[in-house]
């Protein structure tokens, strides 16, 4: 038996999943790691926590499944995007913690760029809106605030990478400083029309080009693991940012195909083909995975807090000991009883793009119970996805006929039913929810001919579960309108902290 190993490096945990040729999961290992919050709106990770948790999971899954490294034909990596690590080329040591995609410290610099009229230039080159979400202002902050960093960078001594780059650098003992096009397209420094790091944008943010990794296709053999950590000499052959990986894992490879991933955040992506198109609805245009080695694009709506709202109820409020308990707590009441929860803990993403928005719970009464708040938290995920889907529908000639879903929170039947009711569309959930890791496995496996084509892979898919709308459409419209009112009230709250 031969296998593909997928490393799924996420925001709160690192996972490793082994896939067999039939697409089945042969083993899973997962390790959570610490979240660091040094200031309001700041989110960091220790880069070594990212690395050790991911390598431990990789070695553990091989051991659990009793699979030898030589029976692993390829390794694919998918990762939290935009998260920024800068390290010394000589020592391999990070100069600062990883600044996480959710981090908002770049908001003042983003305002400067917007005030200077850079938005149009940045959008036309990168497909992105100016926002601290993306890597560019995080790199700039490190260079301007870490002692000696700028001088080192200007001498060519520092390397920048998103999490995939950091992992591959360490897996190859510092021999490969690489990324793929999907991750590069999230930096606000990569020209997705001309297909290269953009000198004008690098100069605009005062970032030396010498820091940038080589950019490769998502499905491409890049070299073998060289560390002596129990992974043998497996070929690294797939890289993709987590949301593009999930898009590929759902086999959304043709224009009009779309999916929503319910992870720490929520991300709705629609494949739009090989023509670069800008959104009029404050969505972003990003690069999709291509096995044909040509530029392909997707429209994306990024929601910063999805499943993370459940973790917040678990860890900060101690509503329940396990995230999976949220469904039973929410089911203890018949409705949210007018409670609306806007989980803007790190600002709001698409289609609002308000880095200063704050979390808000409104509609509290003397009769409000834990169940009402838990239910409102779950519903907040669906409300945000509905906002993005409606914006995306305005952009396309082909409105959504259904929504394909994946990610951890997609296992929640109550959430999926409410999502279907709000959208008044079928919601289709695959038999295997691990489509992010599966996408990385597919990309790696295709690169080494473990699978011959996406058509072969399509035949391996199991039976989907479909949720059909049951609620009254007018009632759902009224609920969405109430949600939008609450979002307005949450807007701009943290401006004085900027």
Is 68 annotated to bind ligand? Answer: no
Is 78 annotated to bind ligand? Answer: no
Is 81 annotated to bind ligand? Answer: yes
Is 307 annotated to bind ligand? Answer: yes
Is 412 annotated to bind ligand? Answer: yes
Those residues with Cβ within 8 angstroms of residue 329's Cβ, 6 or more apart along the chain or in another chain: 319, 320, 370, 371, 374
- φ, ψ of residue 262 to 5 degrees: the values are -100, 85
Is 380 annotated to bind ligand? Answer: no
Q: For residues 205 and 141, what is the distance between their CA atoms, to the nearest angstrom?
A: 10
What ranges in 19-162 are assigned the alpha helix state H? 47-65, 107-115, 119-126, 135-145, 149-154
Q: For residues 158 and 144, what is the distance between their CA atoms, to the nearest angstrom?
A: 14
Is 346 annotated to bind ligand? Answer: no
Name the residue among 259, 12, 301 with its Cα closest to residue 133.
301
> Are 350 and 282 in contact, with CB atoms under 8 Å apart?
yes
Is 82 annotated to bind ligand? Answer: yes
Q: How many CB atoms lie within 10 A of CB 190?
A: 26
Output the six-digit token pair for 332.
């203890």
Question: In what helix (H) or strand (E) does residue 490 lie, and over which residues does it extend?
Answer: helix 473-490
The dihedral sign for the CA sequence 411, 413, 416, 418: negative
Is 242 annotated to bind ligand? Answer: yes
Dihedral, CA atoms, 453, 233, 52, 406, nearest 10 degrees? 10
Chain centre distance of CA 471: 30
Is 84 annotated to bind ligand? Answer: no
Q: What is the DSSP string of 259-327?
A: EEEESSSEEEEEEEESS----SSS-EEEEPP-TTSS--EEEEEEES-STHHHHHHHHTS-S-SSGGGHH
Burial per residue of 382-394, b for 16 or more beta-carbon CB atoms within 10 angstroms, e otherwise: bbbbbbbbbbbee
- φ, ψ of residue 316 to 5 degrees: the values are -90, -40
Is 452 annotated to bind ligand? Answer: no
Is 15 annotated to bind ligand? Answer: yes
Q: How many CB atoms lie within 10 A of CB 111?
A: 15
Angle at 428 between CA 426 and CA 431, to 5 degrees: 155
Q: For residues 429 and 467, what is the distance between their CA atoms, to the nearest angstrom?
A: 8
Dihedral, CA atoms, 302, 306, 311, 312, nearest 10 degrees? 90
Binding-site residue numbers for glycerol are: 81-82, 133, 242-243
Binding-site residue numbers for ADP are: 11, 15, 264, 307, 408, 412
Binding-site residue numbers for sn-glycerol 3-phosphate are: 11, 81-82, 133, 242
Binding-site residue numbers are: 11-13, 15, 81-82, 133, 242-243, 264, 307, 311, 408, 412
Binding-site residue numbers for ATP are: 11-13, 264, 307, 311, 408
């Amino acid at each position: 038996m031969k296998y593909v190993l997928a490393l799924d490096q996420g925001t709160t945990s690192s996972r490793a999943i082994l896939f067999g040729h039939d697409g089945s999961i042969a083993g899973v290992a997962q390790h959570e790691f610490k979240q660091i919050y040094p200031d309001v709106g700041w989110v960091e990770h220790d880069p070594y926590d990212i690395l050790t948790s991911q390598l431990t999971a990789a070695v553990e899954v091989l051991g659990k499944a009793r699979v030898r490294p030589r029976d692993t034909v390829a390794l694919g990596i998918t990762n939290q995007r935009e998260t920024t690590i800068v390290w010394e080329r000589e020592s391999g040591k990070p100069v600062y913690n990883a600044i996480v995609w959710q981090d908002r410290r770049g908001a003042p610099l983003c305002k400067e760029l917007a005030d200077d009229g850079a938005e149009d230039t940045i959008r036309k080159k990168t497909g992105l809106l100016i926002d601290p979400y993306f890597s560019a202002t995080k790199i700039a902050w490190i260079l301007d605030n870490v002692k000696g960093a700028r001088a080192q960078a200007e001498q060519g001594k520092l390397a920048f990478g998103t999490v995939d780059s950091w992992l591959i650098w360490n897996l190859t003992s510092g021999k490969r400083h690489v990324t793929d096009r999907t991750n590069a397209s999230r930096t606000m420094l990569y020209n997705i029309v001309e297909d290269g790091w953009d000198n004008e944008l690098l100069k605009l943010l005062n970032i030396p080009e010498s820091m940038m990794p080589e950019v490769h296709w998502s499905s491409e053999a890049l070299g073998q693991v060289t560390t002596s950590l129990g992974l043998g000499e497996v070929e690294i052959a797939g890289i993709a940012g987590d949301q593009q990986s999930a898009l590929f894992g759902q086999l959304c490879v043709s224009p009009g195909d779309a999916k929503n991933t319910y992870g720490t955040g929520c991300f709705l992506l629609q494949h739009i083909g090989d023509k670069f198109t800008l959104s009029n609805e404050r969505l972003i245009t990003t690069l999709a995975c291509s096995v044909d080695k040509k530029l392909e694009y997707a429209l994306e709506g990024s929601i910063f807090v999805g499943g993370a709202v459940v973790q917040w109820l678990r860890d900060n409020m101690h509503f329940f000991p396990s995230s999976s308990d949220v469904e039973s707590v929410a089911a203890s009441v018949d409705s949210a009883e007018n409670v609306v929860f806007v989980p803007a803990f790190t600002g709001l993403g698409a289609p609002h793009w308000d880095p200063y928005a704050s979390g808000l719970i409104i509609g509290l009464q003397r009769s409000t119970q834990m169940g009402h708040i838990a239910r409102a938290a779950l519903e907040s995920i669906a409300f945000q996805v509905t906002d993005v889907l409606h914006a995306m529908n305005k952009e396309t000639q082909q409105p959504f006929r259904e929504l394909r879903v994946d990610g951890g929170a997609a296992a929640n039947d109550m959430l999926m039913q409410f999502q279907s009711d709000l959208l008044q569309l079928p919601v289709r959930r695959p038999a295997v929810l691990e489509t992010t890791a599966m996408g990385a496995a597919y990309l790696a496996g295709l690169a080494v001919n473990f699978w011959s084509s996406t058509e072969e892979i399509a035949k391996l898919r199991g039976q989907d579960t479909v949720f059909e709308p049951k609620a009254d459409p007018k009632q759902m419209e009224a609920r969405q309108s109430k949600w939008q009112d609450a979002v307005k009230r949450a807007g701009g709250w943290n401006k004085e902290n900027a």
